[in-house]
Amino acid sequence: DIQMTQSPSSLSASVGDRVTITCRASQGIRNDLGWYQQKPGKAPKRLIYAASSLQSGVPSRFSGSGSGTEFTLTISSLQPEDFATYYCLQHNSYPQTFGQGTKVEIK
Amino acid sequence: EVQLVESGGGLVQPGRSLRLSCAASGFTFDDYAMHWVRQAPGKGLEWVSGISWNSGSIGYADSVKGRFTISRDNAKNSLYLQMNSLRAEDTALYYCANPVRDYWGQGTLVTVSS
């Protein structure tokens, strides 16, 4: 089974900060990875697909990079509406696996 | 508009069974794999199970393998999750989803407690 190690588990940041979240896969998954944002009481929302492609309608301050085993989600300038929990998901093979999540809080 | 509507959740005693259903509309259901994703209270997302468009490929998380069975009926645009031998740790909000397409239901709550 492929394990996804996501870090950090939480971070505090200010509006305007650059934020980086990392997911590491225990084996290569090509670019079969998505990044999701979840706010309390809501279903997840996809931000990035195929590791680096921006979902339609998602602000360009979100970007993804990586391939194989190392992946990064970057928010270039944190906005108030970005305070949420973020997850990566590998869909390369069953069982699919989410990262543990990163909670982005206001400093 | 894509809609995924889950049903079948509720309070159940440990060791008992429950069957979740998901009614899909707004897209060509039998073109796509479908999945169940769950989230325990205050915890992260956990992929539970997935099934290919023709039921030819099925996968389960280790935590539910041997206890849960996923199935689909393309004629009814429906996805199912049969959950047997339920445990307290199965308590969660269960989402019907296709995460790769970013299709999500609102979830159905399963509570396993005596």
Asked if A36 lies within 8 A of B99 by C-beta distance, the reply is yes
Query: What is the average pLDDT across B8-20?
Result: 98
Query: What is the average pLDDT across B66-95?
Result: 98
In the predicted model, is pLDDT for residue A5 greater than 90? Answer: yes
Asked if A87 lies within 8 A of B107 by C-beta distance, the reply is no
Contacts of A42 (CB under 8 A, 6+ apart): none
In the predicted model, is pLDDT for residue B62 greater than 90? Answer: yes
pLDDT, residue A21, reads: 98
For B53, the token pair is: 């468009």
User: Quick one: closest CA in B to A56, which residue?
Assistant: B102
Distance separating alpha carbons of residues A91 and A98, to the nearest angstrom:
9
In the predicted model, is pLDDT for residue B90 greater than 90? Answer: yes
Residues A92 and A30 sit within 8 Å (Cβ to Cβ): yes
**What percent of chain A lies above the pLDDT cut of 70?**
100
As a whole number, the mean pLDDT across chain B is: 98
Kindly state whether A57 is in contact with chain B, defined as any CB-CB distance less than 8 angstroms.
no
Cα B26–chain centre separation: 19
Comparing CA positions, the residue from A59, A87, A8, A65 lying closest to residue B95 is A87
Query: What is the average pLDDT across B93-102?
Result: 96
Residues A85 and A103 sit within 8 Å (Cβ to Cβ): yes
In the predicted model, is pLDDT for residue B13 greater than 90? Answer: yes
In the predicted model, is pLDDT for residue B85 greater than 90? Answer: yes
Residues B51 and B70 sit within 8 Å (Cβ to Cβ): yes
Residue B59 has its nearest CB partner, among A44, A94, A98, at A94
Query: What is the average pLDDT across B76-99?
Result: 98
Distance separating alpha carbons of residues B98 and B93, to the nearest angstrom:
16
pLDDT, residue B21, reads: 98
Question: Between chain A and chain B, how many beta carbons pairs sit less than 8 Å apart?
Answer: 54
Asked if B46 lies within 8 A of A98 by C-beta distance, the reply is yes
Within A18-88, where are the H helices?
none
Q: Which of A33, A46, A55 has the highest number of chain B CBs within 10 A, making it the mutation to test binding with B?
A: A46
pLDDT, residue B34, reads: 98
Residues of chain B with Cβ-Cβ distance to A44 below 8 Å are 45, 99, 104
Residues B54 and B32 sit within 8 Å (Cβ to Cβ): no
**What percent of chain B lies above the pLDDT cut of 90?**
100
Residue A36: pLDDT band (50, 70, 90) is: very high
Query: What is the average pLDDT across A72-96?
Result: 97
pLDDT, residue A106, reads: 86
Residue B64: pLDDT band (50, 70, 90) is: very high
- Under DSSP, is residue A89 helix (H, G, I), strand (E, B) or coil? strand
Distance separating alpha carbons of residues A66 and A30, to the nearest angstrom:
9
As a whole number, the mean pLDDT across chain A is: 97
DSSP symbols for chain B: --EEEEE--EEE-TT--EEEEEEEESS-GGGS-EEEEEE-TTS-EEEEEEE-TTSS-EEE-TTTTTTEEEEEEGGGTEEEEEE-S--GGG-EEEEEEETTTTEE---EEEEE--
pLDDT, residue A107, reads: 86
